Structure 1
Amino acid sequence: MASTFHRDRFTWVAYVLLAYFAYLQGAPGLVLAYLRDELEISYAVAGLHLSAFSAFAIVAGLLSAWLESVLGRVRLLWFAAVLMGAGAVGLTAGSVAAVTIGSVGVMGFGGGLLLATVQAGLADHHGALRAVALAEANVAASSSYLVLIAVLSATAALTMSWRVAVLAVLAVPALMWWRNRGLTVEATHARVVRGRLPGVFWIAATMLFCVVGAEWCITAWGASFVEAAVELPADVAIAVMAGYFGGVLVGRMAGSRLAHRHDPTRLLAYALVVAAVGFAILWPSTQLVQALIGLVLVGIGIGNLFPMGMSLTVALVPERAVLASGRAVSAGSFAVLIAPLTVGTLADATSLKAALGVMPAFLVLAAGCLVLVHRARTRTAA
């Protein structure tokens, strides 16, 4: 793969906005422990917050290509960022589950539009080097997860509300808009907003569903799992999740460098193995050190699953990057809808430890889809 990768103004704006998206996307999962205590809700009802986010993100993914054709790429970026921030305000202001769940739904719609537009923009803008751009963008996203944990830990240490940590990030899109008001970017490929995608794309989209499902088993319930397994206070359990998000960051940094020289298919295969090994260490843990090691390894593996999976999926139909990105976001959002709610419901019926057994099932299914996609690509290239 060529190494002449250029980061222009749009690229940096896209990176920062994806980091903003990731910060707010991660917030509901990390504050579930607080919400369960404050609102006195069950695991299943708490999981509905993440399900609401993903349900509305699914709709956003289906509408993103059409909205981009109406508003234009840059206007849609700023609109999506504002909408996501408005939902975050509602989450912090809500005092009953119906309001907080609805607000997270607004976050999901804005976030889905933002994610689809950023990914389509980067894939379209950088062409053959889309894997590098998407990997670097997800390094920025991973960094923001660590920032989120740091800010949540700082507010807890200062006896401030978790709401301060959520609201603080809203200054980011405002500052980015002010500094980049004249930004203009045009798509270099035809903007196909409807039509049929090939069968191999849907196999790849299923793989993306599985890897996102595996990721959100840990992102949503990792802190609660560690809290119960190691018997830690909620604040400490959230802080321990820094090991997981740190692993995600390390994995994505390594992946962004390896993407210059290696095919995403090979990187995905390695990442699935590392994630499975990490889960095998995490799942039986009762001591903090073992849990932390497991979280780090799971994070390193999971860190590359989404960016490489997205790159591979969109690369199957490069002439339809906007349409493919929107459909891929819907597939990933559907996983965020299903995985946390499934784990939460099973946890109420059995235990959270037993419920997290769905994660390795996701990894196995993803590996099967990856094999099918690889075979299809090999036949096409022959």
Structure 2
Amino acid sequence: MSFRRDRLTWVAYALLAWFAFLQAAPGLVVPYLRDELDIGYTTGGLHVAAFAAGSTLAGLSAPRLEAALGRRALLWGSVAVMMLGVAGLVAGPVVAVTIGSLLVAGYGGGLLLATDQALLADHHGEQRAIALTEANVCASAAYVLLVGAIALLDWRAALLASFLAPVALFAAARAVPITTAPAARADHGRLGAAFAVAATMMFCTVAAEWCLTAWGASFAEEAADVSADTAVALMFGYFGGVLAGRVTGSALARRHPPPRLLAAALVVAALGFAVLWPATNPAQVFAGLFVIGVGLGNLFPFALAVTVALAPDRAALASGRAVLAGSTAVLLAPLTIGALADATSITGALLVVPVMLALAALALYWVTLRL
């Protein structure tokens, strides 16, 4: 059976890309905020953690909110909340405001992510792995667009300009039917031990990814001894690798099962870290970021496909729990890296990455034996 992309699919893809554009923004904005607000690595990490904390709360509440409000209302309501939080970040004059605004943005973003993923999983059924992988290709393209937008515009202007996307999508999707999963299956129930291990695997993969997403620019700034602008520009390597990896992964997802592809992505990510970690010049930093991006970029979509497939008849609940696991990782990983960087160095702190990759590989092996 061929995979069909209808208007609902494209709207879901575009909304996920917009979410990804803003989700990655705190990590790239932190070097500027550190200069503007005179803050250290730990306080900088609180900005990324605030977004993740909001997403964690969203993961807990998304299934019940969907049951109460309906999927359409929750989808567009979450967009509005995310826009409100980002506007606060742009206008915020002090740390308390910028961190609080990212908490709001993260809550809206987490609701949007959980709802969007559940929508795609329900809409495409057994072909959900293809849909989720393609959606994350769109997300990785948005990462590259973010770096380019910040390079060409002031970072504040880049974030505000992105608001045009959901406004246009809302106007284009008013006639598109968006159905809600039955409440009895959507908002409660146990998902089993295998799902719990898969969620732990997802935590580790997202933690590894966000160590680089949040601190890659700061690592480049210190390792290669370059300016904040140059460090952000070097992140083209990372996000370009994420995009290349997801495009390749999307094609491979049609012929190979997600567990096998996830295992390959973990290996590529480990090889990329081996290139990146000892880097001392911009060229090697760029090369290392690209290779590790190829691997890390595929961890989330394939881990998500493996995890949600363990509860195929309860996509909303499984997606909400997956978002909870991932957002908890985004909450803890940047804070851990920031604290370790203040105590040692950003280079030493990034040794958390191979540890997370190894733990994810062990969890994948356990889950695969039980599939």
TM-score interval w.r.t. the shorter chain?
over 0.9
Q: Which residue of 1 aligns with 2:242?
A: 248
Residue number in structure 2 paired with 1:380: none
Which residue, 169, 174, 180 being the options, matches 2:173? 180
The structural deviation recorded for 1:187 is 4.4
TM-superposed CA distance for 1:20, in Å, is 0.5
- State the partner residue of 1:29: 27
The SS at the match of 2:333 is helix
How far, CA to CA, are the matches of 1:123 and 1:315 in structure 2? 9
Match of 2:321 in 1: 327
Q: Which residue of 1 aligns with 2:344?
A: 350
Q: Contact 1:64/1:116 (CA < 8 Å) preserved in 2?
A: yes
* Residues 318-359 of structure 1, C-alpha deviations (whole Å, 9 max, x = no match): 011100100110000000001000000000001110000000
Partner of 2:100: 102
- How does 1:1-382 map onto structure 2 within 5 Å? 2=1, 4-155=2-153, 161-187=154-180, 191-377=185-371
The alpha-carbon deviation at position 183 of structure 1 amounts to: 2.1
Unaligned runs of 5+ in 1: 156-160, 378-382
What is the alpha-carbon distance in structure 2 between the residues aligned to residue 199 and residue 239 of structure 1? 43
Q: 1:188 to 1:55 in 2, by over 3 A?
A: closer
Find the aligned partners of 1:10 and 1:80 in 2 and give their Cα distance.
Answer: 17
Letter in structure 2 aligned against 1:313: T
Aligned length: 370
Q: CA deviation at 1:188?
A: 6.2
The answer as to whether partners of 2:66 and 2:180 remain within 8 angstroms in 1 is no
- The CA deviation string for residues 135-190 of structure 1, in whole angstroms up to 9 with x for no partner, is 000000000001000010002xxxxx321011110111111101111221224676
CA distance in 1, matches of 2:200, 2:21: 25
Deviations 1:72-91, CA, capped at 9 Å, x for gaps: 11111111111101100000
Alpha-carbon distance in structure 2 between the residues aligned to 1:338 and 1:235 = 26
Residue type of the partner of 2:170?
W
Q: Are the equivalent residues in 2 in contact too, given 1:124–1:187 (CA < 8 A)?
A: no
Paired-residue identity, %: 57
Q: CA deviation at 1:374?
A: 0.2
C-alpha spacing 1:220/1:286, structure 2 compared with 1 (3 Å):
same
Q: Which amino acid aligns with 1:344?
A: G
Secondary structure of the residue aligned to 2:185 is: coil
The one-letter code of the counterpart of 1:171 is L
Conservation of the 8 A alpha-carbon contact between 2:79 and 2:109: yes
Distance 1:183 1:107 in 2: 26
Q: Distance in 1 between matches of 2:180 and 2:64?
A: 14
Which whole-Å CA distance do the structure 2 matches of 1:365 and 1:37 have between them? 35
Aligned residue type for 2:15: L
TM-score normalized by structure 1?
Answer: 0.95
1:95 and 1:365 map into 2 onto residues whose CA distance is 40
In 1, Cα distance between equivalents of 2:94 and 2:46 = 13
Secondary structure at the counterpart of residue 80 of structure 2: helix
Tell me if structure 2 keeps the 8 A contact 1:60–1:112.
yes
Q: How much does 1:196 deviate?
A: 1.2
Greater Cα shift, 183-192 or 305-314: 183-192
Q: Measure the CA separation in 2 of the matches of 1:184 and 1:248.
A: 32
Could you give the per-residue CA deviations for residues 237-285 of structure 1, whole angstroms, max 9, x where no partner exists? 1011011001000110111111111100000000000000000000000
Which whole-Å CA distance do the structure 1 matches of 2:120 and 2:39 have between them?
Answer: 40
Query: Following the alignment from structure 1 to structure 2, what is the Cα–Cα distance between the partners of residues 236 and 180?
Result: 39
Question: If the length of structure 2 is used for normalisation, what is the TM-score?
Answer: 0.98
**1:206 Cα shift?**
0.3
Q: Distance in 1 between matches of 2:277 and 2:144?
A: 22
Distance 2:329 2:143 in 1: 19
Query: For structure 2, which runs of at least 5 residues remain unmatched after alignment?
Result: none
Q: Distance in 2 between matches of 1:44 and 1:318?
A: 39
Deviations 1:195-225 (A, max 9, x none): 2111000100000000000000000000010
CA distance in 2, matches of 1:365, 1:191: 31
Q: Once the 2 structures are TM-superposed, how far is the Cα of residue 192 of structure 1 from its aligned partner?
A: 2.6
